[in-house]
Amino acid sequence: MAMKRDQCLKVLARHRTNEIVVAVYMAAQEWVQISPSDLNYTFTGAMGQGSSHALGIALGRPDRRVVVLDGDGSLLMNLGSLVTIGNAAPANFIHILCRNGTYETNGAVGLPGGEKVSFTGFARDAGYRKVFTIDTLDDWERQIGGLLREEGPIFVEVRVEPGDKYPEDFARLYAVKQRDAFRRAVLGN
């Protein structure tokens, strides 16, 4: 049985220090509740763009660790970003893929290809330094501390299923006030 995504995110939050976290869709809705911070970037509105936004931030702030919480449905919309990330090879980049086999935001419609698609294979072939698959909460708890210190780019596929329901607050995700707070936090002023 896969781990619950919110439990996975709670473990990540306990290990978080000052990482910039780019979260998309359902993970974003949960993340802003689980780990509130001005260093949360949730402003991606187009499906699949989380990894590209995270790459831009990682390249712009090579002194800061950047973690992207991506979804498998979302990543399918922009697989080319893996090649761009692998080519740029930012050492501060951690790509966490929350794999649940669905376009969850759009009603949990199953992904084409389902289990046939190897996201870790795509990432490895695209040039990520290391790739990992984690499917239990115990393994995640044991490994996350070390993964946050790995030289990137690294790709971590976590096998998840929905957990508890969190309020959907799209106004918060895209609020100008939040963007300004993020900008100040990232720039250090």
Residue with tokens 């802003």: 32
Instruction: Name residues whose C-beta falls within 8 Å of residue 120's C-beta, 6 or more positions apart in sequence.
Output: 131, 132, 133, 155, 157
Structure tokens at 170: 């799209």
Structure tokens at 18: 């000052």
- For residue 77, the model assigns a pLDDT of 86
Residue by residue, pLDDT tens for the chain (189 residues) are 579 989 999 999 999 999 999 998 788 889 999 999 999 998 766 678 999 999 999 999 999 999 999 988 889 889 999 999 999 999 999 999 998 865 556 555 556 776 788 999 999 999 999 999 999 999 999 999 999 999 999 999 999 987 777 777 777 777 889 889 999 999 986
* Full set of structural domains in the chain with CATH: 3-187 (3.40.50.970)
- For residue 68, the model assigns a pLDDT of 97
- For residue 107, the model assigns a pLDDT of 55
